Structure 1
Amino acid sequence: MTQPTLRQALQDVPSTRIIIEQVETEYSGERTLTFWVESDDFAAFETAMSDDPTVTDVECLTTFSDRRLYRATQVGEGRAKSLYSALTTSGGDLQSVIGTATGWEYRVAFPDSGGLSRLRDICEEFGLDFTLLQKYQQTVHLDRISSAANQEVPPDLGLTPTQRETLLRAVDQGYYAIPREISLVELASQLGVSDQAVTERLRRAIVALTTNAFLLAEQESTPHDD
């Protein structure tokens, strides 16, 4: 997709890849992007970002050997043609947003088949080139969630102590709030682990909770002989 945010900077330093970590919209309407940058030349890319008309107030938050975390305010054409508000108001869930010199790749989950059509309409309205790379439909197989009334529900609904701590902290710190009150990186810093580790803990915790909550509900709704 040819969304203009940081397009100039990415084309100036084509070895660079951007991974959007967080999008925050203030009450004033100002939008802040937090994003990881992977590049062969960070100095050149920082210069390119300072010259890019779609962002301002660029700040480096964290530095690793192979990537850096930045925060910037989205402005100009990048803000005017942002897809974030349109996607969220139509029920779209942004799974990932990755930018390279060739454009932006969005992975979005929609609640119904009309979501993709709405996205096409938005891109046409903004004059953005849009290419569908892959489409799939997720099917939830409830038969895989055991309905055996005599099956034991694990203690704490199957959560390990680490998963429980991570999930509780994420909820308490506002990770699932709208707008998000803490980033994945900040949450990982509090827990003393990598952001990838936090993502995996939360994923496994949600799977365990969902599976065992269905099992518990099935048990409670199944008649038992006295």
Structure 2
Amino acid sequence: MIVIADVSVPASQFPLGRVLDGFPDVELELERIVPLREAVIPLFWVRDGDTEAVEETLRADPVTNSVTRLTTTGARVLYQIEWSPEVNGLVQSLLSSDAKLLAAAGTAGVWDFRIQFQTRADLGRFRESCEEAGISLTLRRLYNPTLPERSGNLSTEQYEALVAAYRAGYFEVPRGSKMGDLAAEFDVSDSAFSQRIRRGISSFIAETLMPEFGRTGGRTGPVSWDTDRDTQ
């Protein structure tokens, strides 16, 4: 059964966190980590702050081979880093446990991760690997999602539009991006992109919140690392 864990890690114990000691106001959002035979490549967004200074600090990190600025959206910049194979700690624990990183964001103080494991045994192995590497994990939430079968109502275009809008802060208050900027990324008109957003939200609600499609169970508050316990 799939298990999803929300965990927190001191920034000093994660490579992207260590480089932010001098940038307390900068926020990073990890897009994904791509493991290669010769390197590990994370893609991440930098929000606010002096991005040039952040770039210089990233380049100076001992495990960094290269830093590439990919795109800029509003107040956010997307970067790609190539880490040397020697990068270890939490990164290697994630890769070795075959975990799926669903979300990750952090500052100079702490990093929060949402991680999906295929089984509770995989979660247990991830925890043991982190303990061996001296990583201090705090488990904030643990749950077994009830995953509905996708009805197909949410189109690929709608899905991509919703994800892009969310990542760009479009649904935040105040908004972190404008409809026109998002539409330009997809090379469509403001009206066309707005329709994708509205129809996508409608389809998403129909698929995930209506009783016939089931709900996701979970619990909040302090959570035990006892992965043999039922979290529903």
**TM-score interval (norm. to shorter):** 0.5 to 0.7
Equivalent residue in structure 1 for 2:31, among 21, 30, 47? 21
Partner of 2:155: 164
Partner of 1:136: 142
Equivalent residue in structure 1 for 2:42, among 33, 40, 53? 33
CA distance in structure 1 between the partners assigned to 2:14 and 2:145 by the alignment = 34
* RMSD of Structure 2 on Structure 1 (CA): 4.1
TM norm structure 2: 0.58
1:110 aligns to 2:117 (yes or no): yes
Q: Which runs of 5+ in 2 are unaligned?
A: 1-8, 161-183, 214-232
Partner of 2:217: none
1:1-226 alignment to 2 at 5 Å?
Answer: 1-2=9-10, 3-26=13-36, 28-75=37-84, 78-79=87-88, 81-82=90-91, 83-87=93-97, 89=98, 92-132=99-139, 134-138=140-144, 140=146, 157=151, 159=153, 163-166=154-157, 189-190=185-186, 192=188, 201=200, 204=203, 208=207
Alignment size in residue pairs:
174
CA distance in structure 2 between the partners assigned to 1:99 and 1:75 by the alignment = 22
Structure possessing the higher relative contact order (Cα contacts under 8 Å, 6 or more residues apart)? 2
SS of structure 1 residue aligned to 2:144: coil
**Cα gap change, 1:114 to 1:65, in 2 (>3 Å):** same
**Cα gap change, 1:141 to 1:31, in 2 (>3 Å):** closer
Please tell me the residue identity of whatever aligns with 1:10: L
SS of structure 2 residue aligned to 1:106: strand
Offset, 1:207: 7.2
SS of structure 2 residue aligned to 1:21: strand
Please tell me the residue identity of whatever aligns with 1:104: W
CA distance in structure 1 between the partners assigned to 2:202 and 2:116 by the alignment = 16
TM norm structure 1: 0.59
Please tell me the residue identity of whatever aligns with 1:84: L
Partner of 1:151: none
CA distance in structure 1 between the partners assigned to 2:28 and 2:202 by the alignment = 23
CA distance in structure 2 between the partners assigned to 1:125 and 1:77 by the alignment = 16
Higher strand proportion? 2
Offset, 1:30: 1.7
**Cα gap change, 1:189 to 1:22, in 2 (>3 Å):** farther
Higher helix proportion? 1
CA distance in structure 1 between the partners assigned to 2:32 and 2:147 by the alignment = 31
**Cα gap change, 1:30 to 1:139, in 2 (>3 Å):** closer
Question: 1:166–1:202: 8 Å Cα contact kept in structure 2?
Answer: no
Offset, 1:72: 0.8
**Cα gap change, 1:33 to 1:206, in 2 (>3 Å):** farther
Q: Which runs of 5+ in 1 are unaligned?
A: 146-156, 170-187, 215-226
Alpha-carbon displacement from aligned partner over 1:19-47 (angstroms, at most 9, x marks no partner): 11122223x33221111011322222122
- Higher gyration radius (CA): 1
